[in-house]
Amino acid sequence: MAIAHRGASSAAPENTLVAEEVARRGGATWIEDDVQPSKDGVPYVMHDSTVDRTTDGTGAIRSLTSAELDALDAGSWFAPSYAGARVPTLAAQLADLRERGGNLLLEVKGAHSEEEVGRIVREVRAADMTDRVFVQSFDVPSLRHVRALAPELPLGLLRDAPDADPVAVAKDLHLASYNVSDRGLSTRPELVEELHAAGVAVNVWTVDAPTRWKALDELGVDGVITNRPAELMGWISAHGS
Ligand code: G3P
Ligand code: CA
d(CA 74, CA 92): 15
136 three-class SS: strand
* Cβ atoms of residues 107 and 35 within 8 Å: yes
- Whole-number Å distance, alpha carbon 105 to ligand 1 midpoint, is 11
Q: What is the span of the domain harbouring residue 234? A: 2-51+88-239
Q: CB-hemisphere CA count at 13 Å for 173?
A: 30
Residues flanking ligand 1, CB < 6 Å: 5, 32, 34, 47, 107, 158, 205-206, 225
pLDDT tens figures, 1-17: 999 999 999 999 999 99
* Cβ atoms of residues 82 and 12 within 8 Å: yes
Domain of residue 172, CATH code: 3.20.20.190
Bridge pairing between strands 177-181 and 201-205: parallel
pLDDT at 234 over 80: yes
Mean pLDDT of 66-82: 98
Assess if residue 72 is contained within a domain: no
Mean pLDDT of 164-185: 98
Strand partners, 4: 31, 226
Assess if residue 80 is contained within a domain: no
Catalytic site residues? 5, 47
Tell me what pLDDT residue 231 has: 97
To the nearest whole percent, how much of the chain has pLDDT over 90?
Answer: 99
Out of 34, 104, 137, 232, give the residue to mutate to test ligand 1, the one with the largest number of ligand atoms within 8 Å of its CB.
Answer: 34
Instruction: Give me the residues near ligand 2 (ion), CB cutoff below 5 Å.
Output: 34, 107
Tell me what pLDDT residue 147 has: 98
CB count within 10 Å of CB 163 equals 15
Assess if residue 114 is contained within a domain: yes
Assess if residue 101 is contained within a domain: yes
Mean of the per-residue pLDDT values for the chain?
A: 98
Assess if residue 75 is contained within a domain: no
Assess if residue 229 is contained within a domain: yes
- Whole-number Å distance, alpha carbon 205 to ligand 1 midpoint, is 7
Mean pLDDT of 132-157: 98
Taking the C-alpha atoms of 93, 99, 101 and 106 in order, what is their torsion angle to the nearest 10 degrees? 20
Mean pLDDT of 195-222: 98
- Whole-number Å distance, alpha carbon 226 to ligand 1 midpoint, is 10
Tell me what pLDDT residue 241 has: 74
- Total structural domains in the chain? 1
Tell me what pLDDT residue 197 has: 98
End-to-end CA distance of the chain: 11
Out of 1, 9, 47, give the residue to mutate to test ligand 1, the one with the largest number of ligand atoms within 8 Å of its CB.
Answer: 47
Assess if residue 165 is contained within a domain: yes
Tell me what pLDDT residue 240 has: 77
Burial class (CB in 10 A: 0-12, 13-18, 19+), 168: exposed
pLDDT at 79 over 80: yes
Assess if residue 79 is contained within a domain: no
Nearest to 165 by CA among 137, 138, 186, 190: 190
Mean pLDDT of 93-100: 98
52 three-class SS: coil
Phi, psi of 104 (to 5 degrees): -120, 125
Burial class (CB in 10 A: 0-12, 13-18, 19+), 160: exposed
pTM of the model as a whole = 0.97
Contacts of 156 (CB under 8 A, 6+ apart): 105, 134, 135, 136, 137, 175, 176, 177, 178, 179, 201, 203
